[in-house]
Amino acid sequence: MSSHDHERGVPSDNEDEEPAMLDPSDVAEEILDQDGDAAMDSGSENEGEGEDDEMMQEEINLQNDSSAHFDSHKDSIFCIAQHPLNPSIIATGGSEGEDAGGIGYIFEAKPAETPVLPASYQAAPSERVERKAIEPLFTLEGHTDSINALTFTLPNGEVLLSGGLDGKLRAYAQKGHRWGFLAEVQEVEEINWLAPCPNPAYPNTVALGANDGSVWVYTVDSTSKDAPLQIVQSYFLHTESCTAGAWSADGKLLATVSEEGSLYVWDVFGEAAAAGLTQEGGQTVVGLTSLDQRFAVEGGLFSVAIAPSGAFLVVGGAGGAIKVVGLPRLSSQPSGAAPAGRQGAGASSKTKGGKQAGGKASGSAASAGQSGQILADLQAQSDGVESLAFAPPPLTLLAAGSVDGSIALFDSAHRFAVRRHIKEAHEEHSVVKVEFVKNERTGGWLLTSCGMDGVVRRWDTRGGTGLANSGFVKEWKGHRGDGEGGGVLGFVQGNGDRIITAGDDGISLVFESPVA
């Protein structure tokens, strides 16, 4: 174990010893004083509610902090994606309505133009004026059921991929200043999630998880007329729906979890197999299921994140359960090999369940280390952990958003002790997403969250600000929520200066959120 592992606070275990489980007193430890987290007034009750229900269906809430809005969707927006190089280019996907198929759009998120009536013409300073909605640049058509997942490929955002509850994976490529349909494949009944691969040696590669538990990795070759979407790998070890997936920071490993409580870390490009670090016939570097009682989570797993260092990952599940699992150390040198799908191994991968690689990697710095060991067992929240996010280095924070409406912050440098538990971050409404702001000016301390209360909030994870030292910085409103059939189902934020949302009320709002 390297000195870096000690700095992160990951427990050191001998292979012959029992995994080091956290003592309940350690989990309960709170490094910073909370002085009690006060309940926050969501302020999301709509003035004049019930006076004109029809108007409420057509208009954004009277309290609206947004600078612009996109309202072309007729029903809920389930997913949102942001271009990696041009953060103003946004894609949204959702439903056209019951039994009406799926629909998506690409638009440019920018502040609205001058209102129809300038302020000087208003009868009163607070008089509401009409604001023109953002127009779509391109419409994503062809899904017969809701679009459930979207992602732009890395590193340059050359392709946008949409995954639907119809099982279709559709690709759209940018041609000059225009977008156009590229290709479609379908191997599963429903697609749950999409995740772009950050490995620079394998550009335009994406992973998906399906409702039958299968995991697929595709690469996109827009120059190929016969097969622009090519299978790199496919895996079939999960026995129930694959609920979440995450790539390591270097894009060499893919971790996925399932409703039946299993975790697998896939060696997608064969580097771990070449170093002799795989199991399950060369498919995985880690495989844990509920058959191991130490790992079992009744109700299943819903979220996964890999630490920026690549030394460990965390999974979140029902009842607030979080498990910390060690990962092997692979060489820091990127592979220069072509993806398996481009070598014609895609069909073979589909039948065998994963690429088989042999031999030792020359000069490899790979090490098994604590791979597959359960390093910690955390429980600070009372309901399902839906979202997990690591702070950017050198910070050692992990944020967890729960269905119970709370956000828990753990510190991996102090044996994953609870640094802060914001018990009513979104009151009694589920926290849908948490994500740190990767901004050099802030040093990564700021955390953004959204919930089914229809509010987006930002927190200073050092604490010490408003609302009983919860770290609360600011909130943005405009979506229906608070039990009114709305909520924020996702957001993107680039470097943190602008937040764009996906609303269950069918609206995407643009919030200006400059960070200090």
Q: Is the model more confident about 50 or about 349?
A: 50
Model confidence pLDDT, tens digit, residues 355-387:
333 333 333 344 566 889 999 999 999 999 999
Report pLDDT for 368.
64
Question: What is the average pLDDT value for the chain, to the nearest integer?
Answer: 82
Q: What is the pLDDT of residue 337?
A: 44
Q: What is the pLDDT of residue 326?
A: 96
- Region 50-68 average pLDDT: 62
DSSP characters over 299-354: T-EEEEEE-TTSSEEEEEEGGGEEEEEE-PBPPSSPP-SPPGGGGT-HHHHHHHSS
pLDDT for res 126: 54
Does the residue 287 lie in any domain?
no
Q: Is 454 part of a structural domain of the chain?
A: no
Phi/psi region, residue 299 (left: phi>0; alpha: psi -120 to 50; beta: rest), is left
What SS3 class is residue 414?
helix
> Helix, strand or coil for residue 70?
strand
Tell me which DSSP letter residue 274 carries: H
pLDDT at residue 25, rounded to an integer: 47
Q: Is the dihedral of CA 188, 193, 194, 195 positive or negative?
A: negative
Residue 111 located in a structural domain: yes
Residue 151 tokens, joined: 């992602």
> What band does 127 get if pLDDT is binned at 50, 70 and 90?
low
Number of domains in the chain: 1
Q: Residue 120: its pLDDT value, please?
A: 53
Nearest to 240, CA basis, from 222, 257, 258: 258
Q: Which residue has the higher pLDDT, 262 or 12?
A: 262
Q: Is 17 exposed, middle or buried (0-12, 13-18, 19+ CB in 10 A)?
A: exposed
Pairing of the two strands 321-326 and 284-288: unpaired
Q: Whole-angstrom distance between the N-terminal and C-terminal Cα of the chain?
A: 38
Taking alpha carbons only, the member of 18, 17, 31, 7 closest to residue 377 is 18
Model pLDDT for residues 155-210, shown as the tens digit of each residue: 999 999 999 999 999 999 988 789 999 999 999 999 999 999 999 999 999 999 99
Q: Tell whether the torsion through CA atoms of 498, 472, 41 and 319 is positive or negative.
A: positive
Model confidence pLDDT, tens digit, residues 312-323: 999 999 999 999
Q: Is residue 229 part of a domain?
A: yes
Long-range (24+ apart) CB contacts under 8 A made by 32-36 are: 32/419, 32/420, 32/462, 32/463, 32/469, 33/469, 34/420, 34/421, 34/463, 34/468, 34/469, 34/470, 35/468, 35/469, 36/468
**Is there a domain that residue 216 lies in?**
yes
More confident residue, 85 or 27: 85
Rg (CA), the chain: 23
What's the token pair of residue 420? 């802060």
Q: Please enumerate in sequence order all residues whose Cβ is within 8 A of that of 302, keeping only pairs 6 or more positions apart, or say none.
A: 243, 244, 257, 316, 317, 318, 384, 385, 386
Q: How confident is the model at residue 41 (pLDDT cuts 50, 70, 90)?
A: very low
- Position 177 scores a pLDDT of 81
In sequence order, which residues have a C-beta less than 8 Å from that of residue 314 and are 6 or more positions away?
Answer: 304, 305, 307, 322, 323, 324, 325, 388, 398
CATH of the domain at 89: 2.130.10.10
CA angle 298, 301, 307 (to 5 degrees): 135
| Residue 175 maps to a domain | yes
Q: Above 90 in pLDDT, residue 444?
A: no
Tell me, yes or no, whether 429 lies in a domain: no
Confidence (pLDDT) at 483: 61
Global pTM exceeds 0.85 = no
Cis peptide leading into 203, omega within 30 of 0? no
- The whole domain housing 109 covers 72-116+130-236
pLDDT above 90 for 392: yes
What is the helix, strand, coil percentage profile of the chain, to 5? 10, 35, 55
Residue 337 forms part of a structural domain:
no
Q: Which residues neighbour 5 within 8 Å (Cβ) at sequence distance 6 or greater?
A: 12, 311, 369, 370
- Strand 147-152, strand 136-140: pairing: unpaired
Amino acid 370: pLDDT: 87
* Structural tokens at position 353: 């369940």
Q: Are 422 and 406 in contact (CB under 8 A)?
A: yes
Q: Which two three-digit tokens encode residue 271?
A: 């580097």
Kindly tell me if the per-residue pLDDT of 233 is higher than 60. Answer: yes
List, for residues 86-113, the tens digit of each pLDDT value.
999 999 999 987 777 899 999 999 876 5
Confidence at residue 31, expressed as pLDDT on a 0 to 100 scale: 46
Higher per-residue confidence, 342 vs 268: 268
Query: 18 exposed, middle or buried (CB, 10 Å; 0-12, 13-18, 19+)?
Result: exposed
